[in-house]
Structure 1
Amino acid sequence: MRGSAEGLVGGVVLDAFLGDPRRWHPVAGFGRVASAGERFVYGDSRWRGVVYTGVLVGGAGALGVVIERVSRRFGVHGLATAGVTWAVLGGTSLGREGLAMARALERGDLAAARERLPHLCARDPKGLDAPGVARAVVESVAENTSDASVAPLVWGAVAGIPGLLMYRAANTLDAMVGYRSPRYERFGWASARLDDVANWVPARVTGGLVVVCGGSEAWRILRRDGKKHPSPNAGQVEAAFAGALGVRLGGVNAYGGRVERRPEMGDGKAPEVRDIRRAVGLSAAVTFAAAALIGVLR
């Protein structure tokens, strides 16, 4: 565990300084493999989706076992863990994307902000005004603090390199085929449910770390509003962020012609542009708190 803990913390440091690899990103490579597999396996049925998800996530785990064993044999397990952690984390890139959105809105370039929003979430940006974009960004930064940062660290602490790779594979598949649409209603069911299960504990760990970093109001709103969200996991993190930032999240969201009314969380006003920077700062604090916790518990 010592090598794993040091590697996980080292991966957080690498991500903080380097962000995502600009070329030959392993997650992007996995996405290309998954897209090719979808063309081969796809069918409008759950069982095909189960096979698709099982093969890809299982394959990622098998690769992780190989890397783990080889790295231990050659005495570089800590370095290998750090490298894989860096590859699967996305906290720094999440923060950079949030800050880019903030700068666009601060200079009044709503068109640029709308164009960039799909980098963060699947929400339809066409009808959003500046406050609407700001809310979308704050909510996305909150939810992805768990998905991009804390959850990989949790699974890395539990299951080492295989845990890191299997979690990122499951989360990537959820982003690709797990959302509801006529094409993926059945085929994407397994990926979506696996992602829910994989994120159940990490989302609650993230909510707790937001409370630690953000104060007692985060705890109050988390307890009151955390279960209002239709997602069993996103609501935990978004509610905690709403309390910590003193804003109100939730409302009407449009996704490619489909409109959803989300329950509101928090007692403050709707997010403003300045709240994007505050959300990014809180996200970074939570990520480093997670790394510190792993270091303490190693």
Structure 2
Amino acid sequence: MAFDALSPREVIEAVSNAGARKGHTKLAKVFMSAVSAGCLLAFACGTSLSTNATPWFQENAPGLMRTISALVFPYGLCMILLTGADLCTGSFMFTTVAVLHRRLPWSKMLIHWVVTFLGNLAGSLFVVAIIFGYGNVFSAEPFKSTVISFATKKQVTPAFHMILLRGIGCNWLVCLACFFGIQGRDLASKVIGIWWPTFAFVSLGFDHVVANMTFIPLGIWTGAPHITVGMYIWKGIIPALLGNIIGGGIFCGTYYWYMYLLDMDTLPLYAVGRTAVSSSPSVSHLSGAAAKETDTERSST
């Protein structure tokens, strides 16, 4: 039986191409793309919170409600990937592979991380303040108490190391969603590939640094006790960010580079001379479809 999908080696080649292109994109475009991604993910976070606003089920079947919430949340990542917006967590994999593949310098990778992070934060805070906040989306009960309870469980209850470890597991799965999104050739296959790893990280309660840009500031906006901006930076950003970098950059990006690209001929820096190298036996097996630029290569998470 034949499957209309790229092989893992073709996918990681596409990831490398996308990472190199992302790293050389104008910073203004990168920032605006990241703002869009932050906004889109914030909408999914809002849906997740509203789904959890069921007091009886929270008391009697919390696992069921987490599962249902996890089933609807992935639409946010689908919108981000299919529109080509830049999520810093996805960039941790894309640009790491491009650097290891010698298509992007370390300096441009780090700059891209900073710009996408700031853009994601700006987009998330815009939705939190303008759409959710002044729009009074979560001002009524039981939605307000759900936001406060969720933010407290995310921010106050766990220790620093717990959030860091959850961050590793989170972006490991998120970057697999990016991987599968590229692997499928048709829209339905891409959506299904993106959906299930994202469902997995939400259902397990892992920490995504960009999702936390909505969950925790919204908790602060609605008056969650014991949560301050300083605490959010210390426990909501730093450990989740470090964990997401490890999960996406090492557990996904470095691993798949080692498995499928390390034995290929070294490619010139900045993707110059790609045509000459592509004729080597080590990459001649790649299909013509893999050599073409796909829409999903423009995505990140």
TM range (shorter): 0.3 to 0.5
Q: Going by fraction, where is strand more abundant, 1 or 2?
A: 1
Structure 2-normalised TM-score? 0.32
- The one of the two structures with greater contact order (alpha-carbon pairs below 8 A, sep at least 6) is 2
Structure 1-normalised TM-score? 0.32
